[in-house]
A and B are shown apart, each in its own frame.
Chain A
C-alpha cells in the first residue's frame, strides 16, 4: 500500500546511473560482522587441507612446500602413563571449577584480562581472534578424527570429570589449539612483531586454559602439548599470510618433538621445545584476511609507532 501511494507511475526504468558498491575484493566493511566472518573464514579455509591416517595428521597449506603441522598420536601405553596427572591435577578442582565452567564455551573473554578487547576500540581485533578460533575448530576436528584417541574417562572410572566429556577425540586438545592460536595472533598484534614470542603473557594464559582441561578430567597433558603446537602453527599462518612471505612448520608426537609419557606439559617445556622451522615456498594471500589484519593492527599502533 505504501508502494502504491508513494511510487506513483513507474515504468521499470532505473533512476540511478551506477549504485555505490565496494570495488575492492578486500573491502568487506559493507557486510555485517557475522557475514564478514563467513566470507573471510570460507576463503581462508580453502587454503588448508588436512590429510591423515593411522594416527597421523598433516595440515597442508596451499603453496607451502611441506605440511605446516604434523601431529602424531602417542601410544596407548603413553596415555596410560599420563593418568597420574589426572590424579594430581584433580587436587586443583575446587579452585579451578569457576574457570573450567566458563571455559567450556568461552575462552576469548579470558584474553580480555591481558589487553583491552572490546567491541568499540578493538572490534577488528575481536573479529580476527574469533576468525582464528573458528579456523582452529575446523582444522582441529579433522586432526582429532585422524588421531582419534580415548578420553581419560575411557581408561578408568576414577577420573570422574567435573564437566561432560566431549564426544570427539582427546588428542589433540581443542582448547589448547584454540588458546595457543589466539595467543599467537594476539601477541603479534601486541608486540608488532611477526615472529612468535613464546615469552608473551598470552602463552601463560593459554597454558592455564589448556591445563584447566586436565584439571577437569577430560584431557591428558600430551593432548595440550600437541594442541599447543597445532594452535601456534595455525596462528602463525594467519600472521604470515597477512605479512607475506613463507610459513613455518612444526611437528608433534613420536618421531617429532614430544612429551614423554611420564612428563607434564608445563610452560617451560613449551618454551624450550616449540621451535618451528622455516619453510620454502610463499604462503597464499587473501585480500579479505589482509584487510582484516590491517585494520586490527591499526587498533594497536600508537602515534610513536609502538604497540598500545
Chain B
C-alpha cells in the first residue's frame, strides 16, 4: 500500500464529478487574475473566453450554456455532464433548462424527404455545403439539415449555439449567391460566409474554405458526394445531414471540450433524422420508424481509459442505442431504424504516444516523456492501471513520479479525486472513476487513472508560465500485491490553427523503441516480409514499453461504433500511420472494448501518391488528403449503400459492423492484393490488429484514378 502524500488535495469539493481537464483549464485562467498581465496559457484563456462570447452572447457564465445544451438528455446524463464540465448551477441555468426541450426545430422548418431511403450524417469541420457533389441535378441542395455550431446564434431555432439551415433555406441561399439561378456559378465565398461556414473576420475561426483543403468537405464527398446527374441514383436515395463543429480554439487543442460537441452533434442528427421521417411519413402505415442513419464522425482523442465502462463517450453511444430500442414502445411501429456511427481508428500509430507495461508487485516502469521546444499548447498524459493482466486478482494501485529534466521527484500516491502540484505549471490529478451513466456491462471496474498536465514550453506572451522542454521522466510503480497492467497515453495535441506548427505534440522517447526496419523503411506494428523473409506476417512492434499496438483512438475503441483502419491501394499494405489495436494475446478491457478495427478501407493510393482524391475546399477542385478519417468516410458510404440495398431487396437492415466486417472477410477471401491478409491460418490475430476483418475496396472510385488504381 502506498503511503498517501499529504500534499495531494481534493479538486472536486465544489463539483464531485468535474473533469480534471476542465479543472486544469479553469485554474490556469484563474491564475491570470483580473487585469493581470500574467496569462498562464493563451489558448486556454482564449478558449474559455470564446465559449462565453459565442455561446451566450457575451455572458460570463459558460456553464449555463452547457446546461442549456444538455437539457435534452435524460436526467442522469444531464447531471453527469453538468458536473463533468464544471458547471455551478444557478437560477439562470435552471430557467434555461426549463425553456429547452429539444434540438429539433419547429416542424414547418423541417424538409420532407420522400424517396430518400437512408441518411448519411457527417460531423466535421469546414464542410462546403455549396459543392455540386452535394446538390441534385436541378442544383437544389441534397443536404436536409446543416447545423453550424460556430455561426451566429439564431433565436428561431432550438439550438444552444450557432444556427441550422434546412434544405429549403439552403437552396434559397444557393440561388441567391448564384445570380438568382440554381444552375448559375456560385459565389462560394459569399455563400459560405452567409451560411456560417467561413468567417474570415474571426482570427482563429473557420478559414479553411477560403483555402485548398477542407477536412469536412473531403469527408462528405467520400461519404455521400455524387455526380449531380447521378447515374446510380445515389443522390435520390441518400439524404445528408451535417453538423459543422466549432473551431479547434473552442473545442480545445487537446479536445478538452470535444466530447461535449460530439455528443450534441450526434443527438442532433439522431433527432432531426427522426423528425424529418415523421414529417414525411408520419401518417403512413410503416413497420419501421425512421430512416436508417449512418453518421461519420472523423474526430477523436487518443487518451482515456479505453474501457467503455469508464469513458463517457462510449457510454453515451450505448445509451443512445439502448434508448432507440425503446423509442417505439407503445407506438404503432415494430421497431426504430438503425442509427449507426462510424469512426476512424486514428493516425497515431507512429507517433510514440502509447505505452503498455506489465508490472509485478513493486516493479517500476520508467517512461521518457519528451516535450518539444516551441510548443505553445499544454501537454497531457493519462496513466491507467488495470487488473486485466494474467495473474491479477487485485485492485490496481500505483505510485507515480513526474520529473522535469534534470530533476528526480519522489514517488507519490494520492487518493482518487485529489491533485498534486509538482511545481509551477506541472500538476498530477488522481482521477476518480465516475459513477457510470449506464454501463455496458453493469459495473465499473476498479481501475486507477492519473492525468499529468503541463503548461506549454513556449509562449509569445510576456510573463507567461512555461515549463522546460526536453526529456522528462514518468515513473510508475506497482504498489499492489498482484500483477497489473499500466498504459500511458499522450493526449491529442494540435495547433489552434489547422495549418499551425506550434501545438507540438510530445512523445515517449524510448531507447528500445525501433522506428525503422532493418533496411531503413518505416517500421509498423506488423510486417509482411516478402523480400527477405519467408512471406509471412510477423509482429514488429515492441513487446511492451512504448508500443504501436493499442494506439487506437479512445473515442473509437469500443464496439458501440464501427472502427475503420486504413490501407494503401497499390499493394494492400496497412497504412503505417493507421492506429493499431491491442494485438495478439492482449486482453481487452471488457466485452465491449475493441481489440481491433472492424475493417479497413483505402487511405492512400500508393507510397508516393499519398492520400485519396476527393473534393477540395473549392467547388470543382480535387485534392488528395490522407488519414483514417477518409477511410472512415468510405466505410460510411459503404454502409449507406448497404442500407439502400437491404431496403430494396426487403432484407433486414443491420448494424454498420454487420456490413463492414463480413464484407472485409469476403473481400480477403478473393485475395485482392499483392500483400495477402492470411499467410497462414494462424495469423489472423496479427493482421487483425491493423486491418480488422480485412480490406474493402474503394466504394467510390474517382473518375480519374491516380496510377490506375481503383
B462 partner residues in chain A, CB cutoff 8 A: 199, 268, 271
Decide if A85 touches B470 in the complex (CB within 8 Å). Answer: yes
Decide if B372 touches A264 in the complex (CB within 8 Å). Answer: no
CA distance A211 to B406 in the complex (A): 21
Decide if A92 touches B373 in the complex (CB within 8 Å). Answer: yes
A163 at the interface (CB under 8 A from B): no
Residue among A89, A95, A204, A268 making CB contact with B466, cutoff 8 Å = A268
Residue among A92, A262, A267, A268 making CB contact with B372, cutoff 8 Å = A92
A88 at the interface (CB under 8 A from B): yes
Known: A264-B469, A268-B466. A92 touches B406 (CB 8 A): no
Distance to closest chain B CB from A197 (angstroms): 11
* Segment 357-379 of B: residues with Cβ below 8 Å from A: 370, 372-374
B405 partner residues in chain A, CB cutoff 8 A: 84, 262
Decide if A264 touches B501 in the complex (CB within 8 Å). Answer: no
CA distance A267 to B458 in the complex (A): 9
A91 at the interface (CB under 8 A from B): yes
Distance to closest chain A CB from B371 (angstroms): 8
Quick one: CB contact mask for A248-284 with B, threshold 8 Å, 1 for yes?
A: 0000000000000010101110010000000000000
* Segment 9-56 of A: residues with Cβ below 8 Å from B: none
Q: List 27 A-B contacts (CB under 8 A).
A: A84-B405, A84-B470, A84-B471, A85-B373, A85-B469, A85-B470, A88-B372, A88-B469, A88-B471, A89-B373, A91-B373, A91-B504, A92-B373, A92-B374, A95-B501, A204-B460, A211-B373, A211-B374, A262-B405, A262-B406, A264-B373, A264-B470, A266-B458, A266-B466, A268-B462, A268-B463, A268-B464
Distance to closest chain A CB from B406 (angstroms): 5
Distance to closest chain A CB from B468 (angstroms): 7
Distance to closest chain B CB from A220 (angstroms): 13
Distance to closest chain B CB from A14 (angstroms): 65
Decide if B463 touches A88 in the complex (CB within 8 Å). Answer: no
Residue among A88, A262, A268, A271 making CB contact with B370, cutoff 8 Å = A88
Distance to closest chain B CB from A269 (angstroms): 10
CA distance A266 to B463 in the complex (A): 11
B466 partner residues in chain A, CB cutoff 8 A: 266, 268
Distance to closest chain A CB from B652 (angstroms): 51
Decide if B468 touches A264 in the complex (CB within 8 Å). Answer: yes
CA distance A84 to B469 in the complex (A): 10
* Segment 64-118 of A: residues with Cβ below 8 Å from B: 84-85, 87-89, 91-92, 95
CA distance A39 to B374 in the complex (A): 42
Binding site for B on A (CB under 8 A): 84-85, 87-89, 91-92, 95, 199, 204, 211, 262, 264, 266-268, 271
Counting contact residues on chain B (CB < 8 A from A), the size range is 10 to 19
CA distance A84 to B404 in the complex (A): 13
CA distance A204 to B460 in the complex (A): 8
B370 partner residues in chain A, CB cutoff 8 A: 88, 91
CA distance A268 to B466 in the complex (A): 9
Given A262-B405, A264-B469, 4 extra CB contacts under 8 A: A85-B469, A264-B470, A268-B462, A268-B464
CA distance A134 to B353 in the complex (A): 47
Residue of A nearest to B464 (CB): A268
Decide if B470 touches A88 in the complex (CB within 8 Å). Answer: yes
Decide if A88 touches B373 in the complex (CB within 8 Å). Answer: yes
CA distance A84 to B405 in the complex (A): 10
A87 partner residues in chain B, CB cutoff 8 A: 470
CA distance A266 to B469 in the complex (A): 11
* Segment 453-486 of B: residues with Cβ below 8 Å from A: 458-460, 462-464, 466, 468-471
A95 partner residues in chain B, CB cutoff 8 A: 501
B374 partner residues in chain A, CB cutoff 8 A: 92, 211
B469 partner residues in chain A, CB cutoff 8 A: 85, 88, 264
CA distance A262 to B468 in the complex (A): 10
CA distance A271 to B405 in the complex (A): 23
A262 partner residues in chain B, CB cutoff 8 A: 405-406
Residue of A nearest to B507 (CB): A91
* Segment 365-402 of B: residues with Cβ below 8 Å from A: 370, 372-374
Decide if B372 touches A91 in the complex (CB within 8 Å). Answer: yes
CA distance A87 to B373 in the complex (A): 10
The 5 tightest CB contacts between A and B, nearest first, are A95-B501, A88-B470, A262-B406, A91-B372, A88-B469
Distance to closest chain A CB from B25 (angstroms): 22
Residue of A nearest to B463 (CB): A268
Residue of B nearest to A261 (CB): B406
B468 partner residues in chain A, CB cutoff 8 A: 264
Residue among A85, A87, A264 having the largest count of chain B Cβ atoms under 10 Å: A264
Distance to closest chain A CB from B465 (angstroms): 9
CA distance A89 to B372 in the complex (A): 7
CA distance A92 to B470 in the complex (A): 13
CA distance A89 to B370 in the complex (A): 11
* Segment 497-534 of B: residues with Cβ below 8 Å from A: 501, 504
B373 partner residues in chain A, CB cutoff 8 A: 85, 88-89, 91-92, 211, 264
CA distance A95 to B405 in the complex (A): 24
A199 partner residues in chain B, CB cutoff 8 A: 462
Residue among A84, A88, A267 having the largest count of chain B Cβ atoms under 10 Å: A88
CA distance A271 to B372 in the complex (A): 22
Distance to closest chain A CB from B302 (angstroms): 19
A271 partner residues in chain B, CB cutoff 8 A: 462
CA distance A92 to B502 in the complex (A): 10
CA distance A95 to B504 in the complex (A): 11
A268 partner residues in chain B, CB cutoff 8 A: 459, 462-464, 466
B471 partner residues in chain A, CB cutoff 8 A: 84, 88
Residue of A nearest to B458 (CB): A266
CA distance A51 to B504 in the complex (A): 43
Distance to closest chain B CB from A270 (angstroms): 11
A85 partner residues in chain B, CB cutoff 8 A: 373, 469-470
Distance to closest chain B CB from A79 (angstroms): 16
Residue of B nearest to A204 (CB): B460
CA distance A271 to B468 in the complex (A): 17
A211 partner residues in chain B, CB cutoff 8 A: 373-374
Residue of A nearest to B461 (CB): A268
Residue of A nearest to B471 (CB): A84
Quick one: CB contact mask for B431-463 with A, threshold 8 Å, 1 for yes?
A: 000000000000000000000000000111011
Distance to closest chain B CB from A264 (angstroms): 7
Distance to closest chain A CB from B350 (angstroms): 14
Distance to closest chain B CB from A25 (angstroms): 43
CA distance A204 to B501 in the complex (A): 17
A267 partner residues in chain B, CB cutoff 8 A: 460
CA distance A211 to B504 in the complex (A): 16
A266 partner residues in chain B, CB cutoff 8 A: 458, 466
Distance to closest chain B CB from A152 (angstroms): 15
Residue among A204, A262, A267 having the largest count of chain B Cβ atoms under 10 Å: A267
A89 partner residues in chain B, CB cutoff 8 A: 373
CA distance A199 to B459 in the complex (A): 13
Distance to closest chain B CB from A108 (angstroms): 22
A84 partner residues in chain B, CB cutoff 8 A: 405, 470-471
Distance to closest chain B CB from A78 (angstroms): 13
Distance to closest chain A CB from B463 (angstroms): 7
Distance to closest chain B CB from A210 (angstroms): 13
B458 partner residues in chain A, CB cutoff 8 A: 266
Residue among B370, B373, B458, B501 having the largest count of chain A Cβ atoms under 10 Å: B373
CA distance A29 to B210 in the complex (A): 48
Quick one: CB contact mask for B77-109 with A, threshold 8 Å, 1 for yes?
A: 000000000000000000000000000000000
Residue among B459, B463, B469, B504 having the largest count of chain A Cβ atoms under 10 Å: B469
CA distance A204 to B464 in the complex (A): 14
CA distance A85 to B468 in the complex (A): 10
CA distance A111 to B460 in the complex (A): 17
